[in-house]
Amino acid sequence: MASITKRGKNSFRLMVELGYDGKGKRVRKTKTIRIEDESLLKRKKKLHDFLQAELYKFQAEVEDGEYIAPEKMYFADFVEEWKEKKGKKKLGIKTLTERLNLLRNHIIPYFQDRKIDQINPMQIVTFYDVLSRDGARKDGKPGGLSPNTIYEIDKTLRSIFSTAKEWRVIKDNPMKEIERPPTQKTEMSFLDQDQASRLIIWLYENLSPTWRMIFLTALIGGLRRGEVVPLELTDIIWKLNALSINKSVISVNGKATLKETKTGRSDELTMPQWYMDELKVYVDNWEKERELIDDQWKGGNNQCLFHNGVGERFHPQTITQKWWKIRKEHSFNIRLHDLRHTMVTLLIEEGVNMRIIQERARHHPMNSKLYFNNHAVDHRLVLLVQL
């Protein structure tokens, strides 16, 4: 049973009865609607139709178990609703995990005892100030959270309160008038042509074939570490001198998880001839070593192009840790991801069309093959590899 009761000049109470509970008490759900449109209040037929439509929607929400009573909803309880009904459906697993960690470690402990409709802008601004002060870190280190972490907390709160407004759990979004906290931008680094040449020489003189090919692939292909890690023999397209980039590995709470690429599509990444020649030698040795270890193989049916010696895929963090060691030995003050920036920079210096560079970096949502002139890489790099 559902009904509408006028409560004031412009307010109406919707009520849905759900029968009786185990103690014989009536179970009712109510919702108050306030109409600010004066013209609607004066037109009885249109007002009646509007209220009936709202009542039908309210009844459906109640009967489906989706209605949330704002006056009884605490912030922590709403977060659970947000996580199940939006977070898990709209966010990638890595983003969701990161936001849930921020909620668990910082946001919920601060707001958990407050009703979501009673949280105001001043409380949120004060919260950010607390986060920036000494003692806010969970690792025991001195100082507050970094500006970038506070910025991510802000993004999380904006998603939650925006959803609460969308679901009519709150009337006003307290984040609406709050300025976004500042961030510390990481300066993009890259190698110039001479530095890239010296790095390639160093790779050949100091690393095993596996590690050398891993970093050559990242540098020449402009690949993210998560795109290098899952490459398999079947991803090599020999007749096109290309690699198929069709999956990625991310680290979620320390666990490597296979997912689709960041662009959500498969790309054919054309590589220079000298690289494909090096790759052919590497694959020939890969197959010989696979036969030698025989029953010690732990990779199952997988044919990981780069593995730990017994067929198991590398963890993305393992690649990063190896690069950190190289940085110290070779005095290159760049991150692993900066090899990707280096690829883009070298192509720009060679005068390659920006659209081609954009496609090669897989930043542009185009379903076209990635074309790459084999001579686009500085000729000095090619000569150095042939030494």
- Which has more pLDDT, 250 or 153? 153
Residue 313 has pLDDT above 60, yes or no: yes
- Tell me: do 42 and 76 sit in the same domain: no
Mean of pLDDT over the chain: 80
Q: What is the pLDDT of residues 65-92, one digit of tens each?
A: 665 565 568 899 899 989 988 888 888 8
- Tell me: do 229 and 368 sit in the same domain: yes
Residue 203, amino acid: L
Cα–Cα distance for residue pair 316/224, rounded to 1 Å: 10
Q: Is the pTM of this model over 0.85?
A: no
* pLDDT number for residue 278: 93
3-state secondary structure of 251: strand
Cα–Cα distance for residue pair 146/273, rounded to 1 Å: 45
Residue 381 has pLDDT above 50, yes or no: no
Residue 206: CATH number of its domain = 1.10.443.10
Query: Which stretches does DSSP call E strand in the chain?
Result: 2-6, 11-20, 26-34, 236-237, 242-245, 248-252, 255-259, 267-270
- Tell me: do 248 and 157 sit in the same domain: no
- Tell me: do 239 and 351 sit in the same domain: yes
Number of domains in the chain: 3
- Looking at 67, 83, 115, the residue that finishes a domain is 67
Give how far Cα 231 sits from Cα of 124, 244, 311, 366, Å.
45, 8, 12, 22
Q: Is residue 100 part of a domain?
A: yes
Mention every residue, 6+ apart, whose C-beta is less than 8 A from residue 110.
127, 130
- Tell me: do 270 and 327 sit in the same domain: yes
Q: Look up the domain containing 340 and give its range.
A: 193-386
351: left (phi over 0), alpha (psi -120 to 50) or beta: left
Q: Is residue 34 part of a domain?
A: yes
- Comparing C-alpha atoms, which of 354, 171, 362 is closest to residue 265? 362
Write out the two tokens for 34.
Answer: 């306030």
Q: What is the pLDDT of residues 6-16, one digit of tens each?
A: 888 888 989 88
